[in-house]
Amino acid sequence: MKLIFLGSSFSIVWYIRHHKIVRRSYDKDQDTFRHIFLVLPCLLLALVMNEKFTFQEVLWAFSLYLEAVAILPQLVLLQRTRNIDNLTGQYVFLLGAYRALYILNWIYRYFTEPHYVHWITWISGLVQTLLYADFFYYYFHSWKNNEKLHLPA
């Protein structure tokens, strides 16, 4: 599953950067999110909060923290443009649903496996899911009312 996830992620990035039609839909003027405001705090947090202070553990914690907030640039861009096509809306919804299903997996494993406690994973996954909560609300509202998906400005 991880290989499929990585392969599909790389193909999406390739399409966005190189496909003639998809590349034209990118609006550089609207995409002004400063990524350093996500990367730097995640790196600092990984240096402070990790399971063991080793290179591999710090990188692992950094990847979890960064994954938790990686959707923010997309959500900010969607709010700015207010133009959310079906494919983008479905993609963001499925990314959030993927994380929400992880939470169900963690709950199941907590009750069925002895000593299954991973605070860093749980908290970063919960933060990531909470970031999707607003999008989920508007997604379900538009689906229920059979309307085009719009996020408030």
Closest CA to 38 of 21, 62, 10: 62
Distance CA 62, CA 110 (A): 23
Distance CA 94, CA 139 (A): 11
Structure confidence at residue 15 (pLDDT)? 84
List average pLDDT for each run of 10 residues in the chain, which is 153 residues long.
88 85 76 88 95 93 93 88 82 89 90 88 90 90 88 79
Structure confidence at residue 41 (pLDDT)? 95
Distance CA 149, CA 143 (A): 8
Closest CA to 34 of 72, 62, 63, 61: 72
Structure confidence at residue 127 (pLDDT)? 92
Q: Tokens at residue 34, please?
A: 């400063």
Residues in the chain: 153
